[in-house]
């Protein structure tokens, strides 16, 4: 039995029924990490394997308790982990070891997960290519010369390469969705507020970034979301959790009666590399085969207006969190150029620009939910490019169109991110060179269980991660 190929839910069942010991699950995954991580570089700051095994052996003697009992988990390196080095990908924090867990980490640890280390990310999560001066670059398990995406690129690559059974990630600008598409796994951006932030940070204005789950199937997404979700009484805008696993397990095998709005290339407003749209549209046949109706639609708000609102709000928030670094030249010079761009752009945001950005955001929220009164979900590509060479910082040209920022090449994720919709990135196949891509299925705010149920029907019909594993 290859335990690294089993789902988290299967492993949990095997541990609960005493068919497999937590130490056996851990040993299999540590062996897998030793074998493939040197080439992929997805798991970083790995703890001493002997100490990890001591913890797993101790669990062998305990009654299984918690949804993640005995499962190995590597936490994204943007979250603080008690006693485990947390660098944020920054040389400023290369030796930082937190004394306390962030809230979501504490929830996953309390659910019985064994924390083994971290997963790699771009410095400060800025950009969708996971490289940094502390840990280097994470490579795509489907082609080690290519990017695994980001900023949850380490998490997606570790999942695809069977180094962990499930993973956490975060998503401000597609960071749970883009790497999922690059690595042929599932990534779920929850409704904003469902998975809460920690108290102490700015929690009223910053309403775009969220933590969430990644996995190789939708049931595991639901399993981890059930652990992560639920309001934090110390922060505003919290959303109540539901039984997501029950919703997925009760999902029908078909999508009869469902209607999906397909945005395609946004009426030519966004550039895509050759083959992306064709691969996505070929994959959409799965929806119609399952009995759904897919209707091509136009974006009701110009894409350029959404983009300008996005960079205004994002840079404003990044200036708020990182602007103080400009006061110390020795620290400022160590920040990556993309982070300095965010801060400098945010410093120039005027009150008028900020208000206009918020108005556009509000308009799009209203228009999107008008559409979602007619459709069960909005569907669009996850990525505008195929996984690109790992040596690049980012793609600067798509289909002959020059990108004017470091993140313009992933503009397709902005409609979801800007208004905090729940969105599930699902694998949709690969191009001629075998590199994966995906689509995102987004619903109204609060429709997380419904989106996951539809995603489960997709998974049962396709099983892309199982049918098309990486050959490493």
Residue 356 makes CB contacts below 8 A (sequence gap 6+) with: 309, 312
Strand 377-381 and strand 436-442: the pairing is antiparallel
> What is the bridge-based pairing of β-strands 401-402 and 423-430?
unpaired
DSSP class per residue in 72-116: EEEEETTS-BTTB---TT-GGGTT---SS--HHHHHHHHTT-EEE
Residue with tokens 């590509």: 381
| SS3 category, 354 | helix
State how beta strands 139-140 and 143-147 pair: antiparallel
DSSP 8-state symbol, 440: E
Output the CA torsion 263→264→270→271 (10° steps): 170
Task: Specify the residue for token string 């979501």.
Answer: 104
Contact call for residues 389 and 348 (beta carbons, < 8 A): no
Catalytic site residues? Answer: 76, 151, 175
């Amino acid at each position: 039995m290859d335990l690294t190929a089993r789902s988290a839910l299967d492993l949990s069942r095997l541990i609960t029924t005493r068919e497999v010991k937590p130490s056996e699950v851990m040993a299999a995954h540590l062996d897998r990490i030793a074998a493939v991580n040197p080439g992929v570089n997805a798991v970083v700051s790995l703890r001493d394997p002997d100490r990890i095994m001591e913890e797993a052996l101790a669990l062998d003697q305990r009654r299984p308790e918690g949804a993640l009992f005995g499962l190995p988990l590597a936490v994204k390196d943007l979250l603080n982990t008690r006693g485990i080095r947390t660098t944020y990908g920054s040389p400023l924090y290369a030796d930082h070891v937190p004394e306390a867990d962030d809230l979501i980490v504490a929830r996953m640890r309390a659910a019985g997960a064994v924390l083994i280390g971290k997963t790699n990310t771009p410095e400060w999560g800025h950009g969708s290519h996971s490289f940094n001066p502390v840990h280097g670059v994470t490579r795509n398990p489907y082609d080690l010369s290519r990017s695994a995406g980001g900023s949850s690129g380490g998490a997606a690559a570790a999942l695809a390469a069977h180094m962990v059974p499930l993973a956490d990630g975060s998503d401000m600008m597609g960071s749970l969705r883009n790497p999922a598409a690059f690595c042929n796994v599932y990534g779920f951006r929850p409704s904003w507020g469902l998975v809460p932030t920690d108290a102490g940070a700015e929690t009223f204005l910053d309403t775009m970034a969220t933590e969430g789950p990644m996995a190789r199937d939708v049931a595991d997404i639901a399993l981890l979301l059930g652990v992560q979700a639920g309001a934090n009484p110390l922060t505003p805008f919290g959303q109540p959790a539901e039984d997501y696993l029950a919703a997925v397990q009760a999902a029908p095998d078909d999508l009869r009666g469902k209607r999906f709005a397909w945005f395609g290339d946004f009426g030519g407003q966004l550039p895509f590399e050759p083959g992306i749209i064709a691969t996505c549209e070929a994959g959409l046949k799965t929806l119609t085969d399952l009995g759904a109706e897919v209707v091509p639609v136009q974006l009701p708000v110009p894409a350029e207006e959404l983009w300008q609102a996005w960079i205004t709000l994002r840079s404003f928030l990044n200036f708020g969190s990182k602007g103080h670094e400009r006061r110390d030249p020795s620290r400022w010079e160590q920040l990556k150029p993309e982070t300095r761009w965010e801060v400098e752009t945010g410093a120039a945001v005027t009150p008028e620009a900020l208000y206009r950005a918020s108005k556009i955001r509000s308009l799009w929220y209203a228009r999107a939910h008008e559409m979602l009164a007619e459709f069960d979900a909005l569907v669009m590509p996850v990525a505008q490019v195929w996984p690109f060479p790992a040596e690049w910082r980012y793609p600067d040209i798509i289909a002959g169109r020059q990108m004017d920022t470091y993140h313009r090449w992933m503009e397709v994720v902005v409609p979801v991110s800007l208004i905090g919709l729940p969105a599930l990135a699902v694998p949709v196949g690969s191009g001629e060179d075998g590199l994966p891509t995906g689509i995102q299925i987004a619903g109204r705010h609060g429709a997380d269980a419904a989106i996951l149920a539809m995603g489960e029907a997709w998974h049962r019909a396709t099983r892309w991660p199982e049918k098309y594993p990486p050959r490493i």
